[in-house]
Structure 1
Amino acid sequence: MLDIFIIGGGINGCGIARDAVGRGFSVGLAEMDDLASGTSSRSTKLVHGGLRYLEHYEFRLVRESLMEREVLWASAPHIIHPLRFVLPHHKGLRPAWLLRLGLFLYDHLGGRKLLPKTKTLDLTRDPAGRPLKGDYRRGFEYSDCWVDDARLVTLVARDAADRGVDVSTRTRVTRAERVGDHWRITLHDRLSDETRQVEARLLINAAGPWVDRVLRELPDGDAGHHVRHNVRLVQGSHIVVPKMFDHDRCYIFQNADGRIIFAIPYEGDFTLIGTTDRDYKGDLKAIAISDEETDYLCAAASEYFKQPVKREAIVWSYAGVRPLYDDGASSAQEATREYVLKVDGAAEASKIINVFGGKITTYRKLAEHVLQHVEAVLGRRGPAWTAKATLPGGDFPVDGVEATLAALAARYPAIDRSLIERLVRHYGTRTRDILGAARNEAELGRAFGAGLTQAEVHYLIEQEWARSAADIVWRRSKLGLRMTAAEIAALDAYVQAALAERISAAAQ
């Protein structure tokens, strides 16, 4: 029997699993689709304090988030890096004194040590002013971090599995029922069409947008007040356009409706623009950017950039829903970003811990708080440990990316440096596991396009739960921006054949 079973393979579920197994608990986790296939791969890709949350007096959340920036950066310097944000001043919106006050708090609230502090910019002289319209003459520049969100989830899951967690993707929990002092959980593997049961003393519902549905589907008599509506689904959408500026800084733009959007350097040749905030009531399997959101993002960015952002320039878009705790806020952007944990179950019975809300930046702290509830039920096994631990491939200093790249380039002189650089930015020191003994690129096997090779594909299948081309080109990487539809289709055919061969070999 397991100590803990977790429903949900997003950042919260994987983070809880990793923390728990590292303390000595036995853990299983099921994700009905791919890791990070929901909210956790559809963010603005930031590890940030949330500057605008200060306006809603969410000081605890902002402080915790600010403190986590450098902790997460140190844990995964290959997929997280510092980013400077340029905030142009607009006289018609928030006054300069309010911005300065907010940025002063932002600099000092979270114990910043390595990230540079805020400074004032003369946009008539600074290169950051060149892409902007001429009436933006003054601005502020502050620090946060960028993260490859879906890769973060995968690396957290990989570390959890390396430590003993049974991670099952494409596996849906079809039933969870209390049997005496524990849970009996029925799992359906969607790829093999097989059903199995596991038992666990404690159940954790970290299903993100599906958290309420999981509660509703518990057997009658167990659900109690679970049928209540707990989650407010807020859609956030993004667009990707060809690169709009040459420097490596990001912009944060204030809008007349009080909302903000970001314009972020993305994958070398592109700019990511987002996000929106609107309540979502539709099918969770049919989330997509709306025409209204597209027009909003284009118009909001065009208020600042000299070059208008036009719909026809969009090369990709994505949308996700944030499962915020329903605190009764009047508007989507005012709903709390705080996470909320609810423990249900009688003292003598099996318990369920429900996770509502949360954000990528606070996933590690959320996991620590969940473990406090776990320990109250199952007893203490080991100390908190994740604050100083690195994720797979991140075992080098935060300023060590270039040294890691240089060492690998010297080790593999016949392999294109740009390919090694991309691999290091995705896999860090585990790039060696992909390149292996290859003396040149030909020895990495079949080339699928955009630098993706057979060696990398097999690594993703065997080590990172990739089961389709979409898993590889949109979540484990963003190579879909550079690959043709025919290349992606050929990749998918190869992946399916490789999986079938793997299943056949396992059955023999």
Structure 2
Amino acid sequence: MDSQMVDLFVIGGGINGAGIARDAAGRGLKVVLCEKDDLAEGTSSRSGKLVHGGLRYLEYYEFRLVREALIEREVLLNAAPHIIWPMRFVLPHSPQDRPAWLVRLGLFLYDHLGGRKKLPGTRSLDLTRDPEGIPLLDQYEKGFEYSDCWVDDARLVVLNAVSAAEKGALVLTRSPAVTARREDGAWSVTTKNKQTGETKSFRARCLVNCAGPWVSDVIGRVAGSNSARNVRLVKGSHIIVPKFWAGSNAYLVQNHDKRVIFINPYEGDKALIGTTDIAYEGRADDVKADEAEIEYLLKAVNRYFKEKLRRHDVLHSFSGVRPLFDDGKGNPSAVTRDYVFDLDESGGAPLLNVFGGKITTFRELAERGMHRLQHIFPNMGGDWTHGTPLPGGEIDNADYESFANALRDTYPWMPRKLVHHYGRLYGARTRDILGTASSLEGLGRHFGGQFYEAEVNYLVRKEWAQTAEDILYRRTKHYLHLTESEQAGFIDWFASVQRTAA
């Protein structure tokens, strides 16, 4: 079998791999991205869904990381205003935890480290009078409110992959790299599709390992290489419950152990609560939230709020493994969220391993990763992603509300909730889903909620969706809005369509 020659072969379809593939393809390099499962199926769809500077990292003196993340926060807000939007966080002050002066100092630094432009700054709250204090226990009288951003994490990954493909990259999902060997100054890489068994062979001038929790496995088992660096696996779990307060603000509370817990509005009528930080020794593929973690999160919330959550309030839970760069810190919460590159140029075939990182800094990580490869690709293009919107983010002045209003004017037959659903997930690409439809009937089969066949067709055609789970859980969050029978109906229908197509 003849091998296709490429410049860059990227292993790992999470946020870092998709970001690097996009950046490299936009510089004119010939790129292949392979992922062993679905895009964002691992850590990158199991985050707290925030683009943030990391307020708590200030306690560990990570000033550079916080500053860079705060700068990137506004870059990403401009690039993808449909899937990233501002959110205000209420931090009730507990005298038993961090002193008020320390919290004020941290928030002052948070407001000023990153050159904040769009987002409003911190303000103090009188929780006995301000409406944000209504759901809180009466003992919490003082508080603060600050800004960060929400993000649809899985869609962020997919949109980077879409952008990479539009710039010429080949994206292979469910196609792990089974072997990668240095031969004659280049990498010989073989992938095997897990569903069809089809193998593909490539020759690559450079291999980039963005496998996240599996980064060490790729170094040793797949590439037959080694590295003095390593990742430390830390498990983070979240729970989803019905939303139990009014208003669009989120809450950030401090637990007895000094860990902070986010309580964020989620999907309109629900709340996302997390996260835990636990050293993890098992297989990354097997991670799930255990009962002790769920109880921990419920207790943290109940310490602050009048309405007490019970185990039966938990609608769903999920857990992810964060591949943090192992800096030797004992406390999982103290392990750096920064990233580290390890460039191995032995044998004349470079291998760039990526350790650590966080969603907020993925674009900068990709850019700096390409800087590390400048001497390998001296003729590649320059930096370009800073001011370039992601697919769907091509909205004038990055003003989502004006865009949504224009969308409603263009499609007056669509219910407001459906316009909001399409606008928030697909932004300016919404028209690619709707096509020439002039009524709800034109969107095809209705599966329940805001879920129509036209969206399914788009996700299969444009976003590598191959299973019902790809669509219900990652490309969208329809699973949270459909009944069990509606979900089962869609799964059966999709399976029948796939069989027919095969």
> How many Å apart are 1:496 and its aligned residue?
3.3
- State the match for 2:260 in structure 1: 260
What is the rounded CA distance, in whole Å, between the counterparts of 1:246 and 1:412 in structure 2?
30
Tell whether the 8 Å contact from 1:74 to 1:397 is kept in structure 2 after alignment: no
SS of residue paired to 2:402: helix
SS of residue paired to 2:199: strand
Residue 129 of structure 1 is aligned with which of 108, 133, 137?
133
- State the match for 2:294 in structure 1: 294
SS of residue paired to 1:312: helix
Kindly provide the CA deviation profile for residues 417-455 of structure 1, in whole angstroms up to 9, marking residues without a partner as x: 210111000000111111111111011101111221111
- State the match for 2:30 in structure 1: 26
What is the rounded CA distance, in whole Å, between the counterparts of 1:498 and 1:387 in structure 2?
40
Tell whether the 8 Å contact from 2:229 to 2:342 is kept in structure 1 after alignment: no
What is the rounded CA distance, in whole Å, between the counterparts of 2:10 and 2:266 in structure 1?
33
- Letter in structure 2 aligned against 1:19: D
- State the match for 1:78 in structure 2: 82
- State the match for 2:417 in structure 1: 418
| Structure 1 residue 450 corresponds to structure 2 residue 454 | no
- State the match for 2:276 in structure 1: 276
> How many Å apart are 1:501 and its aligned residue?
4.2
> How many Å apart are 1:373 and its aligned residue?
1.4
**Compared with structure 1, are the counterparts of its residues 367 and 229 closer, same or farther at alpha carbon in structure 2 (3 Å cutoff)?**
closer
- State the match for 1:471 in structure 2: 470
- State the match for 1:363 in structure 2: 362
- State the match for 1:243 in structure 2: 243
- Letter in structure 2 aligned against 1:94: R
Tell whether the 8 Å contact from 1:469 to 1:489 is kept in structure 2 after alignment: no
Kindly provide the CA deviation profile for residues 185-236 of structure 1, in whole angstroms up to 9, marking residues without a partner as x: 01001121111211100000000111011112136xx41x34x671100000
- Letter in structure 1 aligned against 2:216: D
- State the match for 2:53 in structure 1: 49
Tell whether the 8 Å contact from 2:434 to 2:443 is kept in structure 1 after alignment: yes
What is the rounded CA distance, in whole Å, between the counterparts of 2:305 and 2:121 in structure 1?
25
What is the rounded CA distance, in whole Å, between the counterparts of 1:218 and 1:229 in structure 2?
17
What is the rounded CA distance, in whole Å, between the counterparts of 1:9 and 1:171 in structure 2?
10
| Structure 1 residue 109 corresponds to structure 2 residue 113 | yes
What is the rounded CA distance, in whole Å, between the counterparts of 1:487 and 1:188 in structure 2?
34
SS of residue paired to 2:222: coil
| Structure 1 residue 232 corresponds to structure 2 residue 232 | yes
Kindly provide the CA deviation profile for residues 129-163 of structure 1, in whole angstroms up to 9, marking residues without a partner as x: 00100011110111110001001111111111111
Kindly provide the CA deviation profile for residues 31-56 of structure 1, in whole angstroms up to 9, marking residues without a partner as x: 01110000000000100000000000
- State the match for 1:324 in structure 2: 324
| Structure 1 residue 218 corresponds to structure 2 residue 185 | no
- State the match for 2:349 in structure 1: 350
What is the rounded CA distance, in whole Å, between the counterparts of 2:21 and 2:107 in structure 1?
35
Residue 6 of structure 1 is aligned with which of 6, 10, 13?
10
Tell whether the 8 Å contact from 1:85 to 1:143 is kept in structure 2 after alignment: yes
Tell whether the 8 Å contact from 2:78 to 2:398 is kept in structure 1 after alignment: no
What is the rounded CA distance, in whole Å, between the counterparts of 2:365 and 2:499 in structure 1?
38
SS of residue paired to 2:288: coil
Kindly provide the CA deviation profile for residues 272-314 of structure 1, in whole angstroms up to 9, marking residues without a partner as x: 1100000111122211001110010000010001111211100
> How many Å apart are 1:88 and its aligned residue?
0.6
Tell whether the 8 Å contact from 1:326 to 1:335 is kept in structure 2 after alignment: yes
What is the rounded CA distance, in whole Å, between the counterparts of 2:398 and 2:352 in structure 1?
38
- State the match for 1:59 in structure 2: 63
- Unpaired stretches in structure 2, ≥5 consecutive residues: none
- Letter in structure 2 aligned against 1:12: N
SS of residue paired to 1:323: strand
- Letter in structure 2 aligned against 1:206: C
- State the match for 1:190 in structure 2: 194
- State the match for 2:304 in structure 1: 304
SS of residue paired to 1:187: strand
Tell whether the 8 Å contact from 2:74 to 2:118 is kept in structure 1 after alignment: yes
Residue 68 of structure 1 is aligned with which of 50, 63, 72?
72
> How many Å apart are 1:500 and its aligned residue?
4.1
Tell whether the 8 Å contact from 1:77 to 1:398 is kept in structure 2 after alignment: no
> How many Å apart are 1:378 and its aligned residue?
2.3
Q: Could you tell me the TM-score, scaled by structure 1's length? A: 0.96
Alignment identity in percent?
A: 51
> How many Å apart are 1:489 and its aligned residue?
2.8
Q: After superposition, where does 1:132-171 map in structure 2 within 5 Å?
A: 132-171=136-175
> How many Å apart are 1:398 and its aligned residue?
5.5
- Letter in structure 1 aligned against 2:493: Y
> How many Å apart are 1:14 and its aligned residue?
0.3
What is the rounded CA distance, in whole Å, between the counterparts of 1:493 and 1:32 in structure 2?
25
What is the rounded CA distance, in whole Å, between the counterparts of 2:193 and 2:65 in structure 1?
37
- Letter in structure 2 aligned against 1:363: F
**Compared with structure 1, are the counterparts of its residues 43 and 398 closer, same or farther at alpha carbon in structure 2 (3 Å cutoff)?**
farther
> How many Å apart are 1:63 and its aligned residue?
0.5
- State the match for 1:92 in structure 2: 96
Tell whether the 8 Å contact from 1:240 to 1:314 is kept in structure 2 after alignment: yes
Tell whether the 8 Å contact from 1:469 to 1:488 is kept in structure 2 after alignment: no
What is the rounded CA distance, in whole Å, between the counterparts of 1:365 and 1:314 in structure 2?
36
The answer to which of 355-364 and 469-478 deviates more is 469-478
Tell whether the 8 Å contact from 1:298 to 1:309 is kept in structure 2 after alignment: yes
Tell whether the 8 Å contact from 1:73 to 1:398 is kept in structure 2 after alignment: no
Tell whether the 8 Å contact from 1:79 to 1:152 is kept in structure 2 after alignment: yes
Tell whether the 8 Å contact from 2:11 to 2:211 is kept in structure 1 after alignment: yes
- Letter in structure 2 aligned against 1:10: G
- Letter in structure 2 aligned against 1:30: C
Q: After superposition, where does 1:495-506 map in structure 2 within 5 Å?
A: 495-502=494-501, 504=502
> How many Å apart are 1:400 and its aligned residue?
2.1
> How many Å apart are 1:247 and its aligned residue?
0.6
- State the match for 2:371 in structure 1: 372
- Letter in structure 2 aligned against 1:305: F
| Structure 1 residue 333 corresponds to structure 2 residue 337 | no
> How many Å apart are 1:248 and its aligned residue?
0.6
Residue 39 of structure 2 is aligned with which of 32, 35, 42?
35
What is the rounded CA distance, in whole Å, between the counterparts of 1:422 and 1:40 in structure 2?
21
SS of residue paired to 1:124: coil
Tell whether the 8 Å contact from 2:251 to 2:264 is kept in structure 1 after alignment: yes
What is the rounded CA distance, in whole Å, between the counterparts of 2:109 and 2:266 in structure 1?
28
What is the rounded CA distance, in whole Å, between the counterparts of 2:270 and 2:397 in structure 1?
25
SS of residue paired to 1:498: helix
